[in-house]
């Protein structure tokens, strides 16, 4: 819990009630299983559904949040390495966005599903890895005709 408070202190223009709510929200999301939204968070936390909805309306730079967390958790003198990885998530159906055949490391062959690209930061000194970003790989050829200059390798990097 102290690392969450350290990260929230770095965020600009956040009052004490907003920081307290965000700390509770982060812990509740981590302990709750399944889908998380404002409606079902009130069942797991101390706040009412209306309070959660009101606090969630406040803008927050969520992409900046993991980076601040990494900078807080990692030692400035450690040796860091970037580690990209791709994994295939099995999916069925005909209308699923991004559905295709991708390499599945667990099955050692191509499998039907969606591909997720992950970027992790590996702390070689302390021998731990922290996830920086995860995103779905864009769909195949028919969807990438609008941007022909970007390839899958460009997307991964």
Q: How is the chain split into domains, by residue range?
A: 2-62, 74-156
- Say how many C-beta atoms besides its own lie within 10 A of residue 30's C-beta: 9
Model-wide pTM > 0.75: no
Question: Helices 16-31 and 2-10: crossing angle, nearest 10°?
Answer: 140
54/70 Cα distance (integer angstroms)? 28
| pLDDT tens-digit profile, the chain (157 residues) | 577 788 888 777 778 888 888 888 888 777 877 777 777 777 777 778 888 888 878 887 777 777 787 878 888 888 999 888 888 887 777 777 777 777 777 777 887 888 888 888 899 988 988 888 888 877 665 544 455 566 666 766 6
């Amino acid at each position: 819990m102290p690392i969450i408070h350290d990260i929230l202190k770095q965020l600009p223009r956040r009052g004490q009630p907003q920081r307290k709510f965000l700390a509770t929200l982060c812990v509740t999301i981590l302990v709750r299983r399944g889908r998380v939204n404002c409606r079902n968070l009130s069942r797991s936390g101390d706040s009412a559904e209306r309070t959660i909805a009101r606090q969630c309306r406040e803008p927050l730079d969520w992409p900046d949040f993991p980076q601040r967390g990494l900078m807080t958790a990692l030692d400035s003198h450690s040796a860091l390495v970037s580690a990209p990885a791709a994994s295939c998530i099995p999916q069925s159906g005909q209308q699923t966005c991004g559905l295709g055949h991708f390499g599945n490391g667990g099955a050692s062959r191509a499998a039907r599903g969606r591909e997720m690209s992950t970027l992790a930061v590996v702390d070689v000194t302390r021998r731990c890895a922290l996830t920086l970003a995860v995103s779905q790989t864009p769909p195949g050829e028919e969807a990438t005709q609008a941007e022909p200059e970007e390839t899958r390798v460009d997307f991964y990097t």
